[in-house]
Structure 1
Amino acid sequence: MESNPLHPFELHPYVTLSLFGLDISLNKAVIMMWVVIALAAGFLYMAGRQRRLVPTRLQSVAEVLVEFIRSMILDTMGEKGLRFFPFVATLFVFILFCNLLGLIPGTYTVTSQIVVTGAFALFVYGLSIVVGFALHGLKFLQILIPPGTPFWLLPLMVPIELVSQLARPLSLAVRLFANMTAGHTILAVLFGMVVSIPLIPVAPAVKIALLVLVALMMASRHRVFAKAGLLGLVGVYFLIAVLVSVIWLRWLPFVFTIAINGLEVAIAGIQAYIFTILTCVYLGDAMTLHGHAEGAHEAR
């Protein structure tokens, strides 16, 4: 069972509970969401507890985060969109913490569950619909008619726009779910390779010769850099990595694992950003009727 790369995504209830026929059992995903909420709230509380003119490191991180989210809102919704700042900031921080904490061995990636990402996506889409009707009434249905569409094309364009609108929550949910699941599956496979690939029997004389070659290459890397530039230096380090991997093959998947783990950290932030920026875009479309209004700054 442990060799199955999808095993970390399985959920088993610690405490089985039900309410009005609904399963509300306590499992690892629920616990991780509690942990994420506690850590995110603790981080924001500690960062804003002592606001100084010369910010501390924690305060600096929080300020950068706030400015980043604020710029997302201004770019997509304008000044009027700042009313949604608490919601957008909460969504971004929660998804970011879920993605990052899921990289720690022994934890669980909450956003690898389509139920969780689907709930986020449906709530975001439902909120955009409510905002649209609250601001524009029945005129919000104009969002199904692209600006400048001739009257005779309406029977074709309205169904296309309707399908496009209904596909928004599906694409929003699947994108986050698929990226987090795929990345963690690759990590699980590579970690399995680290412990399963046997060492290649290499004669001691060959090992010594290869190590001497590695030492010579390390000693001459600065001259190589001076002659061939950055590309030559990268080539030298690549050859060194290949030679070391020939001596101890188990190092190769380990190096790949470290590299992909670093990539997963970047993907965790990128996916949180994509989900949040699309949320802002959907809310901005609801406020401006997808180009039917004067613009984000004119939204009421």
Structure 2
Amino acid sequence: MATEEHGSGLQIHPMDQFVVKPLFGDGPVEWYTPTNVTLWMGIAILAVVALLVLSTRRRAIVPSRGQSVAELFYGFIHKMVEDVTGHEGLKYFPYVMTLFMFVFLSNMLGLIPMSFTTTSHIAVTAVLALLVFLTVTLVGFYRKGIGFLAMFWVSSAPLALRPVLALIELISYFVRPVSHSIRLGGNLMAGHAVIKVFAGFAGVMGVASIVPIAGIAAIYGLEILVAAVQAYVFTILTCVYLRDAVGDAHH
């Protein structure tokens, strides 16, 4: 938002768009309060259902546009999971597919004017990343037992360095949810904040506002690419982490 206040000059508040607000009333936000985040997460889930379930309900040899898009996403993620995790990882394909579609559609819905980008909030991305972390850890111990810990022991390194490397590997393993979540949320938040700054200048520059408007158009196009790329990055990292649980430990 950009306003001219008494002697205070141009005021731009790019972070206002990320404020969590209750849908009903103006009271405090509790853990059970329906908010704008709740609303747009629900819309994203409905969009996933519409694309993957409703559009493929009447599958045909000559697919409809909705079926074609759903099959394109299906084939793309299926190949990713198989290439990264191997054949053993395909049994977790439904989870990875659902994760990708939710993140991708949440990112895209956040580009609609007056919408809310749920994946720009660390509270959302951290939960997604923690679910991936817990899934990988539990699957790893279920499939390999105590042998899952072998991934932290680099047996190809000199014996004196192995304890140090094991500590580094262990720390990096527990840092995964942090980097996994911040990478997604940070990139989306930064892009949307830049768009809001340009919009603030466009609102007060009169005829010269053509410059920030052109900037908004360019950044908006970039944000569409970022929305798709970040969904891809989040998903392929999930596959890489899953490979540790279903593949052979590195040595």
SS of residue paired to 1:23: coil
Match of 2:36 in 1: 28
Does structure 1 residue 161 correspond to structure 2 residue 169?
A: yes
Which of 258, 267, 279 lines up with 2:226 in the alignment? 267
Q: Provide the secondary structure at the position in 2 that maps to 1:196.
A: coil
**Contact 1:176–1:271 (CA under 8 A) maintained in structure 2:** yes
User: What is the letter of the counterpart of residue 45 of structure 1?
Assistant: V
Letter in 2 for 1:257: I
Question: Counterparts of 1:68 and 1:146 in 2: how far apart (Å)?
Answer: 33
Give structure 2 stretches of 5+ with no counterpart. Answer: 3-11
1:47 maps to which residue? 55
Distance 1:7 1:271, change over 3 A: same
Contact 2:152 2:170 in 1 (8 A): yes
Equivalent position to 1:7, from 2, 16, 19: 16
1:284 to 2:246 alignment:
no
| Residues 244-255 of structure 1 mapped to structure 2, 5 A cutoff | 249-255=208-214
Once residues 290 and 196 of structure 1 are traced to their aligned partners in structure 2, the CA distance between those partners, rounded to angstroms, is 59
Q: State the 1:289 CA deviation.
A: 4.1
Letter in 2 for 1:178: G
Q: Closer, same or farther in 2 for the Cα pair 1:163/1:101, shift >3 Å?
A: same
Q: Give the Cα–Cα distance (whole angstroms) in 1 for the partners of residues 249 and 172 of structure 2.
A: 13
- Structure showing greater radius of gyration is 1
Report the Cα offset of residue 17 of structure 1.
Answer: 8.7
Is the 8 Å Cα contact of residues 148 and 249 (structure 2) preserved in structure 1? no
Equivalent residue letter for 1:177: G
Structure 1 position 101 matched with structure 2 position 101: no
Runs of 4+ with >4 A deviation: 15-18
Residue 205 of structure 2 corresponds to residue 197 of structure 1: yes
CA distance, structure 2, for counterparts of residue 45 and residue 163 of structure 1? 40
TM-score by length of structure 1 reads 0.76
What are the equivalent positions in structure 2 for 1:29-178 lying under 5 Å apart?
29-178=37-186
| Deviation string, structure 1 residues 196-248 (Cα, Å, up to 9, x no partner) | 1133xxxxxxxxxxxxxxxxxxxxxxxxxxxxxxxxxxxxxxxxxxxxxxxxx
SS at match of 1:158: helix
| CA 90–17 in structure 1, closer or farther in 2 if over 3 Å, else same | farther
1:188 maps to 2:192 = no
Q: Which has the higher helix share?
A: 1
Cα distance in 2 for residues equivalent to 1:43 and 1:174: 28
2 CA distance for matches of 1:291 and 1:155?
Answer: 15
Identity %: 38
CA distance in 2: counterparts of 1:285 and 1:32, whole angstroms: 33
**1:14 Cα deviation after fit:** 2.8
Question: Are the counterparts in 1 of residues 154 and 162 from structure 2 also a CA contact under 8 Å?
Answer: no
* Structure 2: distance between partners of 1:91 and 1:12: 25
Using the alignment, how far apart are the partners of 2:246 and 2:35 within structure 1?
39
Deviation at 1:106, TM superposition (A): 1.1
1:149 deviates by 2.0
For the aligned residue pairs, the C-alpha RMSD in angstroms reads 1.6
Deviation at 1:255, TM superposition (A): 1.2
Give SS of 1:291's match. Answer: coil
Unaligned runs of 5+ in 1: 200-248, 293-300
C-alpha separation in 2, matches of 1:163 and 1:70: 31
| Structure 1 SS opposite 2:61 | coil
The SS at the match of 1:283 is helix
The aligned amino acid for 1:281 is: V
Aligned length: 240
